[in-house]
Structure 1
C-alpha cells in the first residue's frame, strides 16, 4: 500500500489520439484512501490491465475539463459507487468539472452528481479534508482558467500534483514542503507552448521546491520522440534532485520511492526497472 500507480503517462491531444502513451491518469493507493487522479481516455481499460480495481476507489480528482484529463469521469463514478448501488465516494474538481465555464464543462452529469457522497467544487487556495487527508488546492495557468492541482498531506508523506500549467511566479511556492512532486511535462528542453510546462520549466520548479522525488508525466509527442528518460536525467543532473520519467504501469512506493512496473493484470511479479 502507500503507492503511486500510473495508469497512463500521455498528455495532450496528440498523445491521446495516437495512444503513444496511455492516458488513464494515475492512482494514489494510500493507507487513508484510494484516489483516482484525472481519469482520461482508457482509465477503465488500464485499470483492468494493471490490476487496479476501480471499485476500490474512494475519491476521484479531476483537475479540469479537457478530455485527456476527464473523459472517463462519469464511468469512474459508476465504478466507485459499485454500479450505482452505493452512495459513496467524493468527486473533487475544478469549477469546469461541475459547471459550464466559458467553453469548458461540465464534465460530471447531474445524474452522476446525485450518486456520490459529495462533490467538492474547488479553486486555488481552497482547503478540504477527504478521508482524513488534508488537501490544499493549487492554482494553474491553463486554457481552462479554472484548472487546479493539489498538495495533499498523507501519513506516508506529502504528495503534490501540478496538473497542466505554464510556469508562473508563485507556482513553486504552492508546493514547498512536498515529498513527491508529480509534474505534467508536455515538451522537451525549452520548447514551451502556452499553458504547459517544458523540461526547462521543470528544472526551475524542481530546483525551487526541492522535493525528495520529482516525477515527470503526461508527456506530449515531442518529448516522447526525444525521450522522457533523457529529459528526466537532465533535470536530475541539473538540480541534484532525484527525478524520474513515469512509464505506463509504473508503481512508486511511498516508503522508499522504489520503482516497479506492472506488466498486465495477473502477471506474477512486477518487472524491475532502473530509475534515473
Structure 2
C-alpha cells in the first residue's frame, strides 16, 4: 500500500494562503487507486505528479468542508472522462449530497457507484478494504477510516480526520501507521479540531509503529511541524513524522 500526500494544509487560513498545498491524499493498493479529500487545487497536484485521473477507481470524502471537498466535481469528471465513460465509485457522507450539497447534481450519474457512508461500516474497492469509524465530533457529518489490503489480517493505515477529541478515538483508528489531522497547536473547547496535545494522547493510547501528523493549521505550521514531530517522538515512544507535500509512504 502506498500513500502520497497531495497536500498538507488544513483549515481556512493555510488553504487560502497556500503556504502548503491542499490536494488531499492518494492511496494505491496493487491496481486500485483512491483519491481522498480532494481539496482546493487537488486536480493541479495530481497533474503535477502525473497521476492519470482516468485510472482512479474511486474518490472519497471524509466530510464536505471546503478544504476537503473543493475539487470533488472536477475529479469526478476526470475519473469518468467528462461523464462519457461511467466508471469508479464515489464515497461520501449523506450531507455532501442532501443538505447544502457539494457534489453537483448533473454529474452524480457519471460514476458507476455513489455510496453514502455510514458509521462503523466495511467497504471494498478493488484490492482495498476499509472501515468507517463512529461519527466524528465535527461541524458536519464526518468519519475517519481504517484501511487494509483486501484479505489482510491487520489494518495498515488509520486516518484520523477532522474531529474534536472523544473517548475511543484512538481505538477507532488504531493501525500500524496512523495519520492524524492536527489543525491546532493546543486543543480548544470551542473548536471541533484536534490539537497537537490530542495527537500525542492518541499516539500514546494506540501505539502505532509510525504516526504522521498533517493537515496543519497556521499555528502548527509556524511551530515547524518537523520539529514538533521530532520532539513528540522522544516523548511517546513511537516514531512520529510530519507530512510534507508530495511525500510518499510505503505501508
Normalised by the shorter chain, which TM-score bucket? over 0.9
Alignment of 1:1-276 (within 5 A): 2-100=1-99, 105-138=100-133, 139-144=135-140, 146-154=141-149, 158-176=156-174, 178-189=175-186, 194-254=191-251
CA RMSD for the aligned pairs? Answer: 1.6
State how far apart, in whole Å, the 2-side matches of 1:250 and 1:208 are.
26
Shift in CA distance, 247/130, structure 1 to aligned 2, threshold 3 Å: same
What is the distance in 2 between the residues matched to 1:67 and 1:43?
12
How many residues are aligned here? 247
Question: 1:141 and 1:61 mapped to 2: Cα distance?
Answer: 19
Alpha-carbon distance in 1 for matches of 2:53, 2:218? 28
Deviates more, 1:108-117 or 1:70-79: 108-117
Q: Distance in 1 between matches of 2:179 and 2:19?
A: 20
Change beyond 3 A, Cα 1:184–1:193: farther
Counterpart CA distance in 1 for 2:2 and 2:128 is 15
Per the alignment, in what secondary structure is the counterpart of residue 108 of structure 1?
coil
Deviation (angstroms), 1:188: 1.9
- Contact persistence 1:199–1:235 (CA under 8 A): no
How far apart are 1:71 and its partner, in Å? Answer: 0.5
Contiguous gaps of at least 5 residues in structure 1: 255-276
User: Does the C-alpha gap of structure 1 residues 206 and 193 become closer, same or farther in structure 2, counting only changes over 3 Å?
Assistant: farther
Q: Distance in 1 between matches of 2:90 and 2:108?
A: 8
Check the 8 A contact 2:187/2:194 in 1, yes or no: no
Q: Give the whole-Å Cα distance in 2 for the aligned partners of 1:25 and 1:194.
A: 22
Secondary structure, counterpart of 2:23 in structure 1: coil
Runs of 4+ in 1 over 4 A off after TM superposition: 189-193
Render the CA deviation track for 1:81-123: whole Å, top value 9, x for unaligned: 12322111010111222211xxxx3111222210101111112
TM-score normalized by structure 1?
A: 0.85
Contact 2:136/2:142 (CA < 8 Å) preserved in 1?
A: yes
Distance across 2 between alignment mates of 1:212 and 1:193: 32
* 3-state SS in 1 of match to 2:8: coil
Residue 128 of structure 1 and its aligned partner are, at CA, apart by 1.7
Distance 1:72 1:64 in 2: 13
Q: Distance in 1 between matches of 2:190 and 2:234?
A: 24
Alignment check: 8 A CA contact 2:97 2:103 kept? yes
For residues 187 and 109 of structure 2, the distance between their equivalents in structure 1, rounded to whole angstroms, comes to 45
Q: For the residues of structure 2 that align with 1:235 and 1:123, how far apart are their CA atoms?
A: 33
8 Å contact kept, 1:32–1:133: no
